Structure 1
Amino acid sequence: MSVDLAEYLPILIFLGIALGLSIAFVVLPMIVAKLTGASKPYANKLTEYECGFPAFEDSRSQFDVRFYLVAILFIIFDLEAAFLFPWAVTVFDLGWVAWIAMMVFLGELAIGLAYAWKKGALEWE
């Protein structure tokens, strides 16, 4: 089993180009900002620009746990869709075992949704 190193040349070229583009898109804007003076802060540049008024609280204040619950529920059901699509494409080739496995998976998600609904994680006050 001899490995011809010339077969790896396209991969090395691809990695070199990817590394070069990564450096170009990350480092070059920083260098241009330093050279043009865009990185020099002054009072007007440091003012609030997203909401238009100064912050009235500390930016490190704690969030309500409901934000995290909604985010976790979103991730769970997003992953469900990510697993469901490839399964739906190949379900007829995989047979009944794949269908039963996906029904168990969807059942577990339904139980989780019912639990979250019962605990009030989906309600917002």
Structure 2
Amino acid sequence: METSGLIWWVAAGALIVAELFTGTFYLLMIALGMIAGGVAHVSGALPHVQMGAAAVIALIAVAALRRSRFGSWKRRDASRDAAVNLDIGATLEVDQWRDGRARAMYRGAQWDVELAPGEIEGARYYRITALDGNRLIVAAKR
């Protein structure tokens, strides 16, 4: 059975377009395998060699991506991630503490404030280190 070489290029193009909608790089790696199959077809290889080349190149590319920094995402705690919560790192003023808790004005509203573990109540200005629901977890600003 003779395969048309056009199918390799159409499959690679479809994977690249699908990649634009997913936002991962894995479909691009599989598209590289399809391109390898197309190159094998152009060079005159038999269909089983074309499929083997596509599979091997796709597997190698996926494995390489998985080992790279782009393929292994580590889940971060959103409550402490400044890229997620823009309040982290901001400074606020706390007038009065009661057992490690207080109420403070921040961004035009009253917030519940709690000291981070190991912090003391002696400072006046604090830096937000995390958000726990509607509570700001703070540390003394140095």
Query: TM-score, normalization: structure 1?
Result: 0.26
Larger RCO: 1 or 2 (CA < 8 Å, sep 6+): 1
What is the TM-score with the length of structure 2 in the denominator?
A: 0.24
Which of the two has higher C-alpha Rg? Answer: 2
**Quick check: which one's strand share is greater?**
2
Flag the structure with higher helix content: 1
